[in-house]
Amino acid sequence: MITFDQFKQLEIKTGKILSVEDHPNADKLYVMKADLGGEERQLVAGIKPWYPDARSLVGKSIVVVTNLEPAKIRGVESTGMLLAASAPDRSDIVLLTLDRDLPPGCAIS
């Protein structure tokens, strides 16, 4: 378990997907650009099997962890983590999205 103070160290913000491209070195990954409120970030996400139409993702309001250390995923840098959920008895993944419109960059707490 983590403490509440440890949880508060996470920086989680709203974002808006600006573009989605196929990853050059992986069949199941997308390389996305997301607006996080005046800041554009590149995210690499393994959601392609569940979201095969990349165009359907553009414009979605999403939830992103923004203070993770950047990571290279199959040779492409990711500077945030898109949040998604899955049920233990199902094989699909569902993006965490907003039920009402908020501007990119809003803090989630």
Tens digit of each residue's pLDDT (9 = 90 or more) over 34-81? 999 999 999 999 999 999 999 999 999 999 999 999 999 999 999 999
> For 100, which DSSP code?
S
The domain in which residue 19 lies consists of 4-95
The pTM score is 0.93
The verdict on residue 18 lying in a domain is: yes
Centre a 10 Å sphere on the Cβ of residue 91 and count the other Cβ atoms it contains: 8
**Residue 13 CA from chain centroid, whole number:** 10
Write down the pLDDT at residue 91.
Answer: 83
CATH number, domain containing residue 52: 2.40.50.140
CA gap 95, 93 in Å, rounded: 7
The verdict on residue 26 lying in a domain is: yes
Mean pLDDT in residue range 83-107? 92
Bridge partners (DSSP) of residue 45 are 30
Q: Give 105's Cβ-side CA count (13 Å radius).
A: 8
The verdict on residue 103 lying in a domain is: no
Contact of 80 with 71, CB cutoff 8 Å:
no
| Count of structural domains, the chain | 1
Q: Give 1's Cβ-side CA count (13 Å radius).
A: 2
